[in-house]
Structure 1
Amino acid sequence: MSQMLALAILILVLFIGEAVSIRTKAWIPSIFVSGVLFLLGFWTFFPPEIVTLAGIPPAVAVMLIYLLITNMGTLLSLQELKEQWKTILIAISGILGIVAALFGIGTLLFDFQTVVVAIPPLVGGLVSALIMSEGAAAAGLPTLAVFAIVIYVVQGFAGYPLTSIMLKKEGKNLLEKFRNNELTAKQLPGEQSGTTEKTVREPRMFAKMPEKYNTDFFKFFRLALVGYLAYLTSVLLTPVVGISPFVLCLLFGVIARSIGFLERHPLQKANGFGFAIMGLLLFIFDGLKNATPSMMVEIMYPLIGCIVIGVAGMYIFSLIVGKLLKVSKEMAFAVSLTALYGFPADYIITVEVINSLTKDEQEREVLTSHMLPPMLVAGFITVTIVSVILAGIFVGFL
């Protein structure tokens, strides 16, 4: 298969996912549809290396992750993180719900090692899945090594539609309040009252530089530099405390936006956001090549069981904490569900739902300001931070 044919096929799959999402008004998220098509493709005619062949090898994907997570940091501010303390508590409560349910009920149905291997990938991303997979392989448990990867790949199939349903209900409630003059748009991260880009040019640190020099390459350079500083800090801190460079990318993106080194959403302004999202999605779906039909049949029972029990525990705990913090049950469950997929799915699903609910720009701004920040914060807290910590602890149980 030639490179351009592989690329055309993969982009077609992503487009079909988008088309179905648009047609169903986000009731069926594009990521879910694309994931199913990728799975079927790998089971039929896709060569295993199709994503790398198309031009997105792991090195390119990692580069895009650095840029995208740093870029996502510019959508938040230090004040926004402080304001999202309820979101952080609810997201953590959802993870505790998964842990409690699987240790309480899961161990009655499956063996202890299966539960231990399932939890970190279920509440996190690729890093935690790889930690548990390697740990299981080292412990002489090859089936569980595969199980760790597959549960990471499949868990989103439960999270995508559930999140879409919750966000659509929350969005309709918010729109009703807004149309009844009971709700206004929250101030977007980093914006100041009474100011616009016309009066305060971004990035503020380079406001005196002629605008013609603020080219796409200059935006990419500053974004890459912030990502490098996050990586360098992670390396320097490794002997003291192991912190993922991706966690620091988010933090450094917030700081860079706050001090005026980066503008808000620099990737989009440099015309690179769409390509970066495409590359990262292809890399994520590349993990489905390991989920062969025989493997799926072998681990289907514990796979479905762990996901159902875990999501049920997540719902109960997030519902209770959300009620105590006076957050709607729909939004509380939605932010908890980000543990099943994280970034960029949290961003994509939220935007898809918002676009499906209204075409009015002001209404979209209101929904975005109320729904996107908590979804982004929750996704980074659960997938990027907590899951890696859990994996580091749980791998010692094998």
Structure 2
Amino acid sequence: MMYPMMAAALVLAVLAAGEVASALTRARVPGFLVSFLALFALVQLGVFPRDIVDSSTWKTTGNLLAPALMVHLGTMIPLRIMRQQYRAVLVAVCGMAGAAAVVTAVVTPVFGYAAAVAGAGPIDGGLVAYLVTDKALRQAGLDSLVAVPLLVFVLQQIVGLPLVTNLLRRHAATIAVRAAAPQKASVLAGTGVANDGASDTLEEGPRTAPLQRAQPRLRIPARFAENHTVLLFLVFVGGACATGLEDLTGVNYAVWGLGIGLLGSWLGVYPIKALEKANSFTIAMVGLLAVVLASATSLSLAQLAGVLPLVATIVVTGVAGLALGGYVAARIIGWAPVKGMAVAMTALLGFPLDYLTTQEVSNSVGRNEIERQAIVDDLLAPMLIGGFTTVSTGSVLIAGLLVKTL
């Protein structure tokens, strides 16, 4: 058994290598994919022992902090902002419903219902949905399927990134044309200037309102509310309540944690992004990622090869379901179909890829600041809210409900 500090440093080195690779490729290569493949290879070659994650105690840390992280996710976006972006929420929900329906309909007859459940939650949103599904599969004695949600989680960004980028570029080109029309008309009328400068309005920045919470309904003295230890205590109380409610109701703690975070933020008990304010978010995320990496150390090449046909089917049908749901919802609310499909497919990306992709598309498609700003104004808020709805909230709810049917 390796010394805990040495094991912890090596696990962090693998995660850090993934982050570096992602930064060097401007997020085109998912960082966790690099970390997963690196650790898997090192374990298979015998460079790292199979129990390295357990020895590091990162897995224990992740399991401990998971309920607190769910509360944190519930505090990330105020309800007021969710109401303002209700169209993006509707599109994201329809996309997730479409993915779950198509995956279940196609996978069940061929691979079985349990296999469909193993992939339907993670394809709708990533890390937390994977954790919920993995736990349920193990409790149900379906160990042969535990590699499925893991591979879906690892591979979904590779498939999603080029698709979403293409959809955004197509829609951004339309927005750029619309933004260019007033400039041309102004030049022809002799009342404007044909240059690349932005208007006074646009120079003030995006019209999207900052994420500010309304007047809190409960007042906690600032000297307590801004104290890192007190704030961390309040988040842990929420996490403890979530786990207690899971024992009482059988509904996964992640669902309760999200609700507690939303309610606590609305009441003013928690600030926006509570764990970040408590300087504890990074350690919680490292712990959760270590829980996922621990699964990589227990897999073999034969196990991975055995589930690849199932995983490929889930990814293809899941992406098709997301696109279908986003398309239908966009038609209903009057959005361009390509915009609706892109917002629905934020389930494959999440933050910060949804943000980075939108910015990159605006910079590459927009020919001047006016066009670039018009693209950002039209796409950034829906993409961010879509990503939060799918990755942070909706996928957790869907995974929690589906695993109850196993």
1:128 pairs, out of 126, 130, 133, with 133
Counterpart residue type for residue 37 of structure 2: V
- The percentage of counterpart residues that share the same residue type is 18
- Contact (CA 8 Å) 1:188, 1:369: kept in 2 or not? no
Deviations 1:166-220 (A, max 9, x none): 565649949967967678342344435xxxxxxx8x997234x547x84221121
Q: Which of residues 397, 400, 404 is equivalent to 1:385?
A: 397
Alignment of 1:158-173 (within 5 A): 158-165=155-162, 170=168, 173=172
Number of equivalences: 365
Question: Mind listing any 5+ residue stretches in structure 1 that lack a counterpart?
Answer: 138-144, 193-199
Q: Can you list the C-alpha shifts for 1:348-371, whole angstroms capped at 9, x where unaligned?
A: 4345557878999xx8x9786553
Matched letter for residue 205 of structure 1: R
1:284 aligns with: 292
Report the CA distance shift for 1:392/1:85 in structure 2 as closer, same or farther (over 3 A).
farther
Matches within 5 A, 1:207-356: 207=221, 209-210=222-223, 214-236=226-248, 238=249, 242-327=250-335, 332-333=340-341, 336-337=344-345, 346-350=350-354, 353=357
1:151 and 2:156 aligned:
no
Pick aligned residue for 2:208 from 186, 197, 202:
186
Deviation at 1:252? 1.6
Seen in structure 2, the aligned counterparts of structure 1 residues 115 and 328 have a Cα distance that, compared at 3 Å, is: farther
- In 2: Cα distance, 1:12 partner to 1:356 partner: 29
2:55 to 53, 56, 70: 53
SS at match of 1:206: coil
1:122 & 1:260 partners in 2: Cα distance? 31
CA distance in 2, matches of 1:41, 1:355: 36
Pairing 1:80–2:102 present: no
Q: Measured at CA, do residues 83 and 229 of structure 1 come closer, stay the same or move farther in structure 2, by a change above 3 Å? A: farther
Q: Is the 8 A contact 2:327 2:340 kept in 1?
A: yes
CA deviation map 1:76-98 (0-9, x unaligned): 22223434543444344334433
- The alignment's TM-score, normalised by the length of structure 1, stands at 0.76
Against the structure 1 CA distance between its residues 369 and 308, is the aligned structure 2 distance closer, same or farther, given a 3 Å change threshold? closer
The 1:219/1:352 distance shift into structure 2, 3 A limit, reads farther
Q: Distance in 1 between matches of 2:259 and 2:121?
A: 23
Distance in 2 (alpha carbons) for counterparts of 1:263 and 1:371: 23
What is the alpha-carbon distance in structure 2 between the residues aligned to residue 320 and residue 214 of structure 1? 44
Unaligned regions of 5+ residues in structure 2, if any?
A: 124-128, 181-197, 364-368
Distance change in 2, residues 1:243/1:106 (3 Å) = closer
Amino acid corresponding to residue 279 of structure 1 in structure 2 = G
Which structure has the bigger radius of gyration? Answer: 2
Amino acid of the structure 2 residue aligned with 1:184: P
How much does 1:147 deviate? 4.4
Bigger shift: residues 124-133 or 275-284: 124-133
Instruction: Name the CA distance, whole Å, in 1 between partners of 2:54 and 2:330.
Output: 42
Q: 1:222 to 1:279 in 2, by over 3 A?
A: same
Q: Which moved more, 1:252-261 or 1:311-320?
A: 311-320
Per the alignment, residue 366 of structure 2 pairs with none
Deviation at 1:385, TM superposition (A): 0.8
Asked if structure 2 preserves the Cα contact closer than 8 Å seen for 1:125 and 1:383, the reply is no
| Residue 205 (structure 1) aligns with | 219
- Partners in 1 of 2:38 and 2:358 — Cα distance? 24
**RMSD of aligned Cα (Å):** 3.8
Give me the whole-angstrom Cα distance separating, in 2, the residues matched to 1:315 and 1:274: 32
Deviation at 1:244, TM superposition (A): 2.2
How far apart in 2 are the matches of 1:103 and 1:250? 25
Distance in 2 separating the partners of 1:285 and 1:358: 35
The separation in 2 between residues aligned to 1:299 and 1:167, in whole angstroms, is: 26
- In the alignment, structure 1 residue 23 sits paired with structure 2 residue 9: no
DSSP-derived class of the 1:263 partner = coil
Indicate how the Cα distance of structure 1 residues 122 and 297 shifts in structure 2: closer, same or farther if over 3 A, else same: same
Aligned equivalents of 1:100 and 1:383: distance in 2?
13
- How far off its partner does 1:9 sit? 1.8
Q: Relative to 1, partners in 2 of residues 1:205 and 1:173: Cα closer, same or farther, differing over 3 Å? A: farther
CA distance in 2, matches of 1:97, 1:210: 47
